[in-house]
Amino acid sequence: MPEFGLIIDGRKGSADEWLDIRNPATGELVGQCPVATRARLDEAVAAASRAFKSWSMVPDQERVEAVQKIAGVIEANAGELAALLTREQGKPLKGMGSEFELGGCIAWTGATAALQLPVKVLDDSSQARVELHRKAIGVVGSITPWNWPLMIAIWHVIPAIRSGNTVVIKPSPYTPLSTLRLVELISEVLPAGVINAVAGKDELGQAMTEHPGIQKIVFTGSCATGRKVMGSAADTLKRLTLELGGNDAGIVLPDVDPPAVSEKIIGGAFLNNGQTCAALKRLYVHESIYDEMCAALAAAASQIPMGNGLDENNLQGPIQNKMQYDKVCSMVDEAVAMGGHALCGGSPTGGPGYFYPLTIIRDVSEGCRLVDEEQFGPALPVIKYSDIDDAIERANRSENGLGGSIWSGDLDKAAELAGRLECGTAWVNIHGDIRPDVPFGGVKQSGFGVEFGQEGLEEYTSVQVVNIAKGGV
């Protein structure tokens, strides 16, 4: 069994306490995670602070080349990382699973390397030259979740490094091993201290958000935890980027052919077994095609093989942990008790692992948790509507606002309706399609700040204006 360690100042370190990390498909031990103390966190922050003094002054082209080297290292070790990711997270190797996630890591790293932060000239007159500079902030603290542990780590740390910051990252205690190994590999091509990894329980994350040596926190996770992050970061006035939960609504217009779009809707809903913030979480379907759409969705979902992700024939894995598994079970049971009908799935499969079949629930509406809350699992409620204005209002009633989608053959009408959705990203005839060159973020309780693209890179900088008077002293 490989040995995993904390990565601090370019060195691999041990700990006095360890967490057992188990495969959610089998319960088998994958490895042990070192638990960092507050003292080890202090060491990591101190190392990042020292490294920042030089890394922030490195010529921009050298940072570009460093990030390109990181992409190469990830690609060279993608097979090892994907297998480890499947074993600790549960997602399959194939399909939209671990190999897909590693491909995303490589693509996002390469795209971020190509971004620039040029000086913007605001005025260049006979009286003055005024320039706007983007400067690195300092030490960035990254706190990542268990659903896409490597991809989201890359989303956090690569723009931080590219823009001249240094990083201390803490992965989820459910999926720490692949992140520790990733950081170990990245640290081999960076100066010591530019990237550091600590691991441990939830209280370590709070220690990071409170730490006076960390200037910015990037957090991806639940809305409830995001509020705690914001509160504990207040005393030190940290910069924050919060990508929080979503309860994304899709609205299907009556001109849609249900069998033609069912697979795309299923793909948007059950990406990573539904354990994706921007997955489609509730689907509003016009009454004229409601029965046909429900049947088409159930038929499409029933064809997707589920099982141990190390079996390359499987395209869906287990729910990652028991807490989330119990939540999904409870929400589906409540929906059925309130009159919902499960067209496929609807109850645990039994046996080892946290497996829950892909589930389509019809005849539900607002007032049950499966519609009103983020289920973050393989259960999609399908809700009937008759009036499009009412459907838009119901979709917008959620306190969340991460993504949403409109499904229609009339692209102009669909685009107009998409603009009425209260969310950070509105898709037409697709859901959950994110790109490294397009900003992504939420509104309302789904957080603030954006990731990806030029706007995402600028989130890791502060603005300095240089105002030069030309009239002489």
Catalytic residues, by residue number, are: 243, 277
Nearest to 428 by CA among 404, 452, 392: 404
| Cα–Cα distance, 438 to 423 (Å, whole number) | 15
Retrieve residue 226's tokens: 């995001």
* Residues paired with 286 in a beta bridge: 385
| Cα–Cα distance, 436 to 158 (Å, whole number) | 12
* Residues paired with 6 in a beta bridge: 13
18-22 vs 11-13, strand pairing mode: unpaired
Count of other CB atoms within 10 angstroms of residue 183:
25
| Cα–Cα distance, 353 to 199 (Å, whole number) | 24
| Cα–Cα distance, 190 to 68 (Å, whole number) | 11
Nearest to 158 by CA among 191, 116, 186, 193: 186
Burial class (CB in 10 A: 0-12, 13-18, 19+), 374: buried
Retrieve residue 74's tokens: 């990830």
Longest CA–CA separation in the chain, Å: 81
Q: What is the dihedral of CA 362, 376, 106, 463, to 10 degrees?
A: 120
Q: What are phi and psi of 378, to 5 degrees?
A: -85, 55
* CB contact set of 66 (below 8 Å; sequence gap of 6+): 161, 189, 190
Contacts 24+ apart (CB under 8 A), 131-135: 131/465, 131/466, 131/468, 132/463, 132/464, 132/465, 133/463, 133/464, 133/465, 133/466, 134/163, 134/458, 134/461, 134/462, 134/463, 134/464, 135/56, 135/164, 135/461, 135/462, 135/463, 135/464
Using DSSP's 3-state secondary structure scheme, residue 30 falls into: strand
DSSP secondary structure code for residue 320 in this structure = S
| Cα–Cα distance, 129 to 127 (Å, whole number) | 7
**Would you list the DSSP string of 35-70?**
---HHHHHHHHHHHHHHHHHHTTS-HHHHHHHHHHH
